[in-house]
A = this chain, B = another copy of it.
Amino acid sequence: MSLLVTGSIAIDSVKTPHGQLDDGPGGSAVYFSFASSVLVPTRLVGVVGEDYPQAFLDQFKGRQIDLTGLEVRKGSQTFRWKGSYQGAMNEATTLAVDLNVLAEAGPKIPAGFRDSELVFLANTHPALQVELLGQLAAPRLVVADTMNLWISNERDALLKLLARVDGFVLNDGEVRMLTGEDNLVLAGRRVLGWGPRFVVIKKGEHGCLLLTGQGMASLPAFPSDTVADPTGAGDTFAGGMMGTLALSAGRIDRDRLDLGLLKQSLVVGTVLASFTIEDFALGRLARVTRDDVDRRVAQFRDIVCF
C-alpha cells in the first residue's frame, strides 16, 4: 500500500552529554522516511531552501524514498533547529529555531502522489495539515502528529484536524496539555472522543501507550545501553509504525482496525527508534537493514513478553 509522509526537513545542531553535531541532517519527514523505507517504498513531501546541502540529498540515494515531492525553493533557507539534552535526555531544550522556509507557503502534493493510501502528516501547523489532507484523493488511513505549540496556540485548528484523521500521535506531556487530564488512559480516551479511531501516546524512554475503541496496548522502550542522541526518535517511531501498517495492505480497514496489527506496528516503531538514538542524526538509522529490525524485534519479545 502506498505510504506518503509530509513533514519538516531540517538542518539540526544538537548537543548531548555524549557529544555534539553541528549542521547535521534532521527533520520529521527525514527520520520518518529513513525508518519507513526500511520496510516499504515511501513518498516524501516537504520543502527545503537552496542552502540544503547536496550531501544530505545524496543520503536518500539507494533508499526506497520517492523525492518527487521534495521542493528545493529558490531564495529560501532551510528550517534550522538547535537543541540540547541533559541528564537522562528525556526532553530537548530548544536553543534556537529558524523556521525559514517553513514560515512560507506549504508544500504541494505532486499529482503522482494524490492517490496515496496511507498518509502520515508529521507535525506542522494543523491548518496546513488539513490543507495537505485536502490535496489527497481518497486515503485509506491518515495519521497525524502535533506539538505543544499548536496545542497552546491553535487549539481550534487542532480539533478540526482531529475530526479528520484516523490516528493521532503525540507525547505524554502534550496529551496532558491538550486534555487537561493527568491520567494517560483517560487523556487518551478523551482524544478518541474528538474523532480519531486510535491514539498513540509516546513516552520517550518509557515507551508508548495505544488506545482504540477496542482496547489498549502498552510497550516499554527497547532498553538500550547506548543512547547518544534522542533527536528523531519519535519520528522514527512513527515511520516504523506506518511502514508496518503499509506492509499489511489488505488488513487495513479504518472502521475495524486490528489491535494486534497496530501493536505490531508499535513494536517495529519502538525497535527502529532504538537504532536512531544510538548515534547522532542519521548515523545509525541510515545503516539499519530489515534483518537488523527483525533480530531486534525478537530480542524485544524476549525482554517484554511473558
Contacts and interface: CB of A to CB of B under 8 A. Distances in A.
A188 to B, nearest CB: 9
A219 interface: yes
B223 A304 contact: no
Interface string A260-283: 100110010000000000000000
Nearest to A88: B182
A225 B183 contact: yes
A206 B209 contact: no
Given A88-B176, A206-B203, A185 B224 contact: yes
A203 B225 CA distance: 17
Contacts of A223: 184-185, 209, 216, 218
Counting contact residues on chain A (CB < 8 A from B), the size range is 35 or more
A185 B220 contact: no
A223 B189 CA distance: 12
Contact of A216 (B88, B186, B303): B303
Contact of A219 (B186, B205, B304): B304
A219 B206 CA distance: 10
A218 B207 CA distance: 10
Contacts of A215: 302-303
Interface of A: 17, 87-89, 176, 182-186, 189, 203, 205-207, 209, 215-221, 223-225, 227, 260, 263-264, 267, 301-306
16 contacts: A89-B182, A183-B224, A184-B205, A185-B223, A185-B225, A186-B225, A206-B207, A209-B223, A215-B303, A216-B303, A218-B220, A218-B223, A218-B303, A219-B304, A264-B306, A304-B304
Given A206-B207, A209-B223, 10 more contacts: A88-B176, A88-B183, A183-B227, A185-B224, A215-B303, A216-B303, A218-B221, A260-B306, A301-B305, A301-B306
